[in-house]
Chain A
Amino acid sequence: MGKRTVEGRTDGDAQYRISRRHFLISTGALIAASACSTTPPQPATQNLPEGTVKLTAWTIGPDAPSYYRRDNLVAAGETLGKAVAAKSPKTSIQVDATFESGGQWGDYLQKFTLAAEAKTSPDIILAGHENFAPWVGPGYIVPLDDLIKKYQNEGDIKDVIPTLWTAMKLKGKTYGVPQDTEARPMYYRKDLLAKMGWSKDKIDGLPDAVKKGEFAWPDFVATAKEAISKGIVGPGMGWYSRPSKGADIYMFYYQNGGETQDSATAKLVIVKDALQKHFQVHADAVVNDKIMTKTIYGMDAGKEWHPTVTDGKVLFYNAGTWTWKDWQATYKVAEQALWENVGFMLIPAAQRGGKPVTVSHPLAYAVTSNAKDQDLAFRLIANATTPELNSKHSVTSAHLAVLTTQKDDPTYKQDKFLLATQYMLDYTKFIPNHAKFGVYDDVLYRFLGAVEQGQFTPAQAVDSAVKELQGQLGDELIVR
Chain B
Amino acid sequence: MARTQAIALPRERRTAAWWRTNATALLFMGPAIVLVLVFLLAPVVITFVMSLTDLATSTGLSNWQWIGFENYARMFRSQFWLVILGNTLMYVAIVLAFNVIVGLGIALLSVHMEAKAGGVFRSLWLLPRISPSVVYALMWTWAAASPPFGMLNYIVAPLGLEPRFWLQSDPWLIVILINGFVGASFGMLIFTSAISAIPQDLFRAAQVDGASALQIIRRITLPLIKWPILFVLVYQTMSLFASYEYIYLTTNGGPGLYATETWSLWAFHTALSNYYGNLDFAYGAAMAAILVLLGLGISVVLLRVFRFEQLVAEPRVEVD
Contact = CB atoms under 8 A, between A and B. Distances in A.
A437 B278 contact: yes
B193 interface: no
Nearest to A132: B277
B257 A450 contact: yes
B274 A442 contact: yes
B77 A471 contact: yes
Given A106-B275, A467-B79, A299 B146 contact: yes
Interface string A116-147: 11000000000110110111111110000000
A113 B142 contact: no
B255 interface: yes
Contacts of B62: 138-139
A435 B60 contact: no
Interface string B259-274: 1000000000100111
B165 A138 contact: no
A295 B58 contact: no
A468 B79 contact: yes
A117 B273 contact: no
Given A106-B274, A131-B276, A446-B257, A435 B58 contact: yes
B280 A439 contact: yes
B74 A471 contact: yes
Contacts of B280: 439
A165 interface: no
B141 interface: yes
B257 A449 contact: yes
Prevailing SS type, chain B contact patch = loop
A67 interface: no
Contacts of B256: 297, 446, 449-450, 452-453, 455
Interface residues of A, number: 51
Given A304-B146, A453-B255, A436 B277 contact: no
Interface residues on B, range: 35 or more
A133 B277 CA distance: 10
B277 A110 contact: yes
A129 B276 CA distance: 10
A414 interface: no
A245 interface: yes
A134 B57 contact: yes
A439 B74 CA distance: 13
A294 interface: yes
Contact of A133 (B58, B59, B141, B275): B58
Nearest to A104: B275
B56 interface: yes
Contacts of A449: 254-257
Interface string B156-197: 000000000101100000000000000000000000000000
A472 interface: yes
A417 B272 CA distance: 39
Contacts of A133: 58
Interface of A: 105-106, 109-110, 112-113, 116-117, 127-128, 130-131, 133-140, 245-246, 293-295, 297-300, 303-304, 435-439, 441-442, 446-447, 449-450, 452-453, 455-456, 464, 467-468, 471-472
Given A113-B279, A295-B165, A298-B255, 13 more contacts: A113-B57, A117-B60, A131-B277, A138-B61, A139-B63, A293-B146, A298-B167, A436-B58, A439-B274, A439-B280, A447-B257, A453-B259, A464-B79
9 contacts: A106-B277, A133-B58, A134-B278, A135-B57, A136-B58, A298-B168, A299-B146, A441-B275, A453-B256
